[in-house]
């Protein structure tokens, strides 16, 4: 039920992994959270996969998180008259709203919202940056642009506009329909919001969700980096979505951005997932490249809460092997003394709150006495999040009576969630201490003579109140 591995694994479900047997194998290999990508598949397919996940969760005996990833706006070229067009640097092209005259040399760009904001000097990227155009002029309905790089244009290729904040919301009508379906039929734990540009994008989703699910903002636009502090105040976690981010930013800037985002999330005490192309070669090969192994390891060294597999588990030939390999890489890093040194050197400043004082003491006491387990009782997840922020050396055992909270915390660094009977302000804290000791021994995390550090908020059941620390010897 528990794992000594700290960094979590998110795996995308798809045609290669939507059977109960494969899902169970993925969990056995190390998956903590399953991602449901609503860019692909029907509602019926997603519902079937969700039901399989919950069945596997019941059989495995530990909480599994479900992350619903909304597609967001997809900006693409229209249909070219010839299907493809050969181009070369220096060529001048005209792009704009489709015209009825099929003989026109205009390349269809059916997005007036893009054409309205492009100005001379703006950059337009097509086909994941394989084609780069620089705008010469525009009139709101069409633009003239020079080819900076690229050899061919094809119909329906994706478009990125890196240096302009587009006047379009993150949520499309498709996203709203998908979200309505999820809220009615799927008890998801996280909703990932694509194409976040500004705080208002998150506010709109929060108004629809309320507190039913946690929000994870996907950081894939430079404009999101401009507003990152305001966005972090509104979300429950972020995903460093390096696919689009690596198109919209110069590639050499992405590693630094990733490191800064991981550190900012730790400072805020919210989980951060590093995603995209982590072990992409394992879609077709049974082992990753050495560069991919290093990429996963670096995300772990940086302090990420979780790393994610996309096509590797959704459509690849080796989904279970990809998870097993990722788990081995994580475990190897976590055995490295340099890993703990890095985590300690990047420790965030504590806020002047009782919760941070207790959690800081929790970590220090655990280190000094060498406790086997750090136990947190939590009703909202707050205590566990603040404890995980400290990156304790010992196993972090989170006990809660709320299944939804246990599942939500499955993406958080180090947390091992176990469901316990409900408790309230009338429950004696000594009862919880005894329970923590018994569960730790039962799970094989502690033995007679070991110490536990136990934290909770009194009165019990009061969300966001962490104010007690107890040292417990196992007898």
- Going by C-alpha positions, the residue among 200, 133, 141, 136 that lies closest to residue 162 is 133
| 77 vs 96: CA distance, rounded Å | 10
Catalytic residue among 76, 157, 176, 260, which?
A: 76
Determine how β-strand 123-126 pairs with β-strand 159-160. antiparallel
- Going by C-alpha positions, the residue among 37, 314, 39 that lies closest to residue 172 is 39
Sequence-separated (6 or more) residues with CB below 8 Å from residue 159: 75, 76, 77, 109, 111, 114, 124, 125, 126
142 membership: H or E segment, kind and range: strand 142-149
- Going by C-alpha positions, the residue among 208, 230, 207, 206 that lies closest to residue 219 is 230
Give the side-chain half-sphere CA count within 13 A for 275: 28
Q: Which one-letter DSSP state was computed for residue 410?
A: G
| Alpha-helical runs (H) found in 210-289 | 222-226, 228-232, 242-248, 254-268
Determine how β-strand 84-86 pairs with β-strand 65-69. unpaired
Catalytic residue among 6, 132, 218, 437, which?
A: 218
| 353 vs 375: CA distance, rounded Å | 20
Q: Residue 35 catalytic? A: yes
> φ, ψ for residue 371 (rounded to 5)?
-65, 145
- Going by C-alpha positions, the residue among 356, 390, 366, 392 that lies closest to residue 467 is 356
Please answer whether residues 70 and 191 qualify as being in contact, where contact means their C-beta atoms are separated by less than 8 angstroms: yes
Catalytic residue among 5, 6, 8, 35, which?
A: 35
Q: Residue 5 catalytic? A: no
Q: Which one-letter DSSP state was computed for residue 459?
A: S
Q: Residue 76 catalytic? A: yes
Token duo for residue 281: 């070669």
Catalytic residue among 12, 276, 376, 378, which?
A: 276
Token duo for residue 434: 């005894």
Please answer whether residues 440 and 335 qualify as being in contact, where contact means their C-beta atoms are separated by less than 8 angstroms: no
What is the SS3 string spanning 205-218?
HHHHHCCCCEEEEE
Q: Residue 84 catalytic? A: no
Long-range pairs of 205-209 with CB within 8 A, sequence gap ≥ 24:
205/170, 205/171, 205/179, 206/234, 208/176, 208/179, 209/179, 209/183
Token duo for residue 120: 């001379």
> φ, ψ for residue 453 (rounded to 5)?
-115, 125
| Residues noted as catalytic | 35, 76, 218, 276
């Amino acid at each position: 039920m528990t794992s000594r591995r700290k960094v979590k694994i998110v795996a995308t479900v798809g045609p290669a992994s939507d059977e109960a047997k494969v899902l169970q194998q993925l969990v056995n290999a190390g998956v903590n959270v399953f991602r449901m990508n609503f860019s692909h598949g029907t509602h019926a397919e997603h519902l079937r996969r969700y039901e399989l996940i919950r069945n596997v969760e019941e059989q495995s005996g530990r909480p599994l998180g479900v992350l619903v990833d909304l597609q967001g706006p997809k900006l693409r070229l229209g249909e070219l008259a010839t299907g493809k067009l050969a181009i070369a640097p220096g060529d001048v092209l005209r792009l704009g709203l489709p015209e009825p005259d099929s003989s026109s040399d205009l390349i269809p760009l059916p997005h007036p919202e893009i054409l309205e904001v492009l100005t001379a000097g703006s950059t337009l990227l097509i086909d994941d940056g394989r084609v780069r155009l620089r705008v010469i002029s525009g009139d709101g309905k069409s633009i003239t642009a020079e080819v900076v790089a690229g050899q061919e244009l094809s119909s329906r290729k994706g478009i990125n506009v890196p240096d302009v904040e587009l006047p379009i919301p993150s949520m499309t009508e498709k996203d709203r329909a998908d979200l309505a379906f999820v809220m009615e039929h799927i008890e998801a734990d996280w909703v990932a919001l694509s194409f976040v540009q500004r705080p208002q994008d998150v506010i709109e989703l929060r108004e629809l969700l309320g507190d039913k699910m946690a929000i994870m903002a996907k950081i894939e636009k430079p404009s999101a980096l401009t507003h990152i502090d305001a966005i972090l105040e509104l979300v429950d976690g972020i995903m460093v979505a390096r696919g689009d981010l690596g198109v919209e930013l110069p590639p050499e800037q992405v590693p630094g951005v990733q490191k800064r985002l991981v550190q900012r999330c730790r400072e805020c005490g919210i989980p951060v997932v590093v995603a995209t192309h982590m072990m992409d070669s394992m879609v077709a090969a049974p082992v990753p490249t050495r560069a991919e192994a290093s990429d996963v390891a670096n995300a772990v060294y940086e302090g990420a809460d979780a790393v994610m597999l996309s096509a590797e588990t959704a459509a690849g030939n080796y989904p279970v092997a990809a998870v097993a390999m990722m788990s081995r890489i994580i475990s190897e890093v976590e055995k490295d003394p340099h890993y703990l040194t890095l985590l300690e050197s990047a420790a965030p400043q504590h806020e002047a709150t009782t919760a941070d004082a207790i959690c800081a003491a929790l970590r220090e006491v655990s280190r000094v006495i060498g406790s086997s387990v750090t136990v947190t009782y939590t009703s909202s997840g707050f205590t566990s999040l603040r404890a995980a922020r400290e990156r304790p050396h010992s196993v972090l055992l989170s006990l809660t009576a709320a299944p939804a909270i246990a599942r939500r915390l499955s993406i958080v660094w180090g947390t091992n969630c176990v469901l316990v009977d409900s408790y309230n302000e009338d429950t004696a804290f000594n009862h919880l201490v005894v329970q923590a000791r018994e569960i730790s021994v039962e799970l094989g995390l502690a033995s007679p003579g070991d110490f536990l550090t136990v934290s909770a908020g009194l009165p019990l059941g009061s969300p966001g109140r962490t104010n007690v620390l107890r040292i417990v010897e196992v007898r």
